[in-house]
Amino acid sequence: MDPIYGRIAANKRRTFFLFFLYAVLFAGIGYFVGIYLGDPFVGIILAALVFAVLFLISFFSGQKVVTSMAGAREVSKQQEPFLYNTVDALSIAAGKPMPKVYIVETEVPNAFAAGRNPENAILAVTRGLMNRLNRQELEGVIAHEMAHIHNYDVLLATVAIVLAGTIVFVSVIARRMIFFGGMRRSGRKGGQGQLIAIAALIILAILAPIFAQLLKFAISRQREYLADATAADFTGYPEGLASALEKITDQQVKNSPIDNSALNGLYIINPALGARSQNRGSVLFSTHPPTEDRVKRLRAM
């Protein structure tokens, strides 16, 4: 088996494992909420229903949520012929269906892909990306995003954005329930089980946002290296993407219109870091590896 395809298969297995861990954490919160309410089984059932609904919404409508949050609009071949034809050509090279094409109207150069599979995916670029890159560099970036679609990274990324946000929200609700009603309720009934539930909920409420952040970290890192390698395979010209990564990194602006903590892991370069992505200290807790390392690997191909 081609090493690239072996790593793609390994990424898919990790994806399912991460979703399994997420479901376990969600069930744990439901269980202790159930103890607090007087019936653990009820809590688990409620958690399972909420998880199923959120997963289905994020699975089938996640890309709409992402494009809306990013301020991206769909464009046709008549509106953006050069971009449309470039995406079409690379889709043919990858042997995959052509994704819908979107543009974000900002001069900060960047790009992302979203969706649940190659048949239901979108690819978005900013106006600045089109204005600042030459053809080979633009092809490299689009090939990178096509690689994320091809490697099924977009499934994890799109669903994780919704689920990670949800688990943070649930942890906030749990904390408020504990501090505004939990102690008073447990004190009135004096139940040891409820005291244990409250202690467990406090721990889970603290751990949940940390897990959500770890889920975001898992989206990228090695997946970015793999997408870079796959993109180079698609275009046959690694230098195009290497040069594009250097340009895009240098032109990121912190607090720009695309700097959104929920979406930063989707972009080819993290908008929150910008040029600081060359600094290893700055990317210690970033979803993306250092640009310098990515460029070095591409130029060694």
Write out the catalytic residue numbers. 145
CA 201 to chain centre: 27
| Secondary structure class of 151 (helix, strand, coil) | coil
| Secondary structure class of 297 (helix, strand, coil) | helix
CA angle 264, 249, 64 (to 5 degrees): 30
* Alpha helix stretches (DSSP H) within the chain: 3-37, 40-70, 81-94, 127-132, 135-150, 153-177, 183-189, 192-219, 222-235, 238-250, 291-299
Dihedral sign for Cα atoms in the order 72, 74, 78, 82: positive
H-run or E-run covering 120: strand 120-126
Beta bridge partners of residue 73, listed in sequence order: 103
What is d(CA 60, CA 117) in angstroms, rounded to the nearest whole number?
A: 10
Token pair in block for residue 134: 């030459």
Q: β-strands 120-126, 100-104: how paired? A: parallel
Where b means 16+ CB within 10 Å and e means fewer, 30-55 reads bbbbbbbeeebeebbeebeeebeebb
Token pair in block for residue 264: 């930063």
The overall longest dimension of the chain from CA atoms, in Å, is: 70
**Looking at residue 121, what DSSP letter applies?**
E
